[in-house]
Amino acid sequence: MNELAGKHIVLGLSGGIACYKAAELCRSLIKAGATVQVVMTEAAGQFITPVTMQALSGRQVFASQWDDRSAAGVDNNMPHINLSREADAIVVAPASADFMAKLLHGRADDLLSLMCLARPVDKVPLILAPAMNREMWAHPATQRNVVQLRADGATVLDVGIGEQACGETGDGRMLEPEELLYELVRFFTPKVLAGQHVLVSAGPTFEAIDPVRGITNLSSGKMGFAIARAAHEAGANVTLVAGPVSLPTPRGVGRINVKTALNMQKTLNVLSQNATVFISAAAVSDWRPAEAALQKIKKDGSGQVPVLHFVENPDILAGVARSPRASNRTLFCVGFAAESEDLLANAQAKRVRKGVPLLVGNIGPDTFGQDENALLLVDEQGTTELPRADKLVLARQLVGEIARRLRPGVPAPAAAAEAAQAPAGS
Ligand code: CTP
């Protein structure tokens, strides 16, 4: 998905067992469209060879400040200057406890630390992915260093929790390559939703008939989850209220699982009181059995089928959209419309019926369970088509559209703008 197209990353490795993850990270960065220049410390060379990193990055690896090879096309024997000047970011992964302590003091006795110190602070961001034993991470010296490094302008990422190579369990593992990639994509995403609290509903609801059966629908939740992720990338504080789906929670997003439409309504009614944006992507069941049987309904062999009586579920979105905060636009509500035909007319009518400023129409059978979708945005001004694309691409575009409506004049996020130019279905 070329999220890092055009970005040049200097990937620094300091010494730690997590160097094995740096190999995968390098690959992921390249796959995401970035160019990668690897710089390693001598200690990193104890864990992984420059040969591996050269093969993965497609570039010669630099490890010494005395290396007199041409660096970034310049022959002045100053790799610490030349390699950093063309970088969109220096990412040190793994950043060992020792390396962070060194950076903190402005020490510069190897190429990587020298390059970090010599980088133009306002132009080349420094992102550190710490990796160490849990005791080293918890040590007051390391924690002090993290605070000071952040104050000095570095972005110090979280650490993972779990089993460590040393056999102990706790905080201090380096984030996984896909988590690091996510953090980098987020780092470069314009924060068009900074300060917003976005509430997203996603997935189907499940309405019980008896303890083992129920009615639900084909919604996979993928669109809502992608929207939650895109909103978080764009700087929002995001809470996702999810019906029964088994999708992983997007990084950094708070999640509350619900089952029935009534559960979902109760949860959303409470949470919407503190949200500034509500995106109702859930495919809420329109009806529920009037009464769920307490025990499994048995067939008795007579051929007689059970008769089910249904009652209508409340319209959650319409209810939230009528609340005082939505009426005075403190809460901006976005509805979805899952249609099977006549998308434009149905979406326009549904927007008015639900009382929302923005409604996103899609053809349910063309998208339920799939990774792609096509959206039709309907608001008071007219319509905007977002052609068929991956749901994450569309989610980023939708976030850009919402941001513009919240604060007219806000440009679309770069990723969304690029995606908008991609051919449909790409
Ligand atoms: N919605 C809701 N509560 C419901 C039904 C729908 O909050 N009981 C929300 C959905 O999350 C979506 C929008 O309303 O944002 C439209 O949902 P959709 O299923 O397309 O339409 P319905 O309201 O069910 O209307 P219809 O069945 O006539 O298409």
Ligand 1: centre distance to CA 326 (Å): 18
CB distance 316 to ligand 1 below 6 Å: yes
Question: What is the best residue among 287, 350, 368, 402 to mutate for testing ligand 1's pocket, by most ligand atoms within 8 Å of CB?
Answer: 350
Residue nearest to atom 4 of ligand 1 (CA): 315
pLDDT in tens, 9-68: 999 999 999 999 999 999 999 999 999 999 999 999 999 999 999 999 999 999 999 888
Element (H, E) at 278: strand 277-280
Residue 86: its pLDDT value, please? Answer: 87
Q: What ligand 1 atom has the least distance to the C-alpha of 337?
A: 20
Weakly modelled stretches of the chain, pLDDT under 50: 412-426
Residue 74: its pLDDT value, please? Answer: 85
CB distance 337 to ligand 1 below 6 Å: yes
SS3 351: helix
Residue 411: its pLDDT value, please? Answer: 55
- Find the Cα–Cα–Cα–Cα dihedral 254, 259, 263, 267, rounded to 10°: 10
Ligand 1: centre distance to CA 315 (Å): 7
Ligand 1: centre distance to CA 424 (Å): 27
User: Which tokens in the block code for residue 117?
Assistant: 């110190």
pLDDT in tens, 359-417: 999 998 888 878 999 999 999 999 999 999 999 999 999 999 999 999 865 554 444 34
CB distance 57 to ligand 1 below 6 Å: no
User: Which tokens in the block code for residue 166?
Assistant: 């040393």
Tell me which residues are annotated as active site. Answer: 166
Residue 364: its pLDDT value, please? Answer: 83
CB distance 317 to ligand 1 below 6 Å: yes
From the centroid of its chain, how far is CA 161? 19
Residue 408: its pLDDT value, please? Answer: 67
Q: State the Cα–Cα distance between residues 175 and 129, nearest whole angstrom.
A: 7
Ligand 1: centre distance to CA 194 (Å): 29
Residue 240: its pLDDT value, please? Answer: 98
* Domains, the chain, ordered by start: 8-188 (3.40.50.1950), 197-292+308-420 (3.40.50.10300)
Residue 422: its pLDDT value, please? Answer: 34
Closest CA to 193 of 247, 151, 150, 253: 253
Residue 67: its pLDDT value, please? Answer: 85
173 bridge partner residues: 160
Q: What ligand 1 atom has the least distance to the C-alpha of 319?
A: 7
CB distance 135 to ligand 1 below 6 Å: no
CB distance 358 to ligand 1 below 6 Å: no
Q: Mention every residue, 6+ apart, whose C-beta is less than 8 A from residue 11.
A: 22, 25, 26, 29, 36, 37, 38, 39, 53, 57, 91, 93
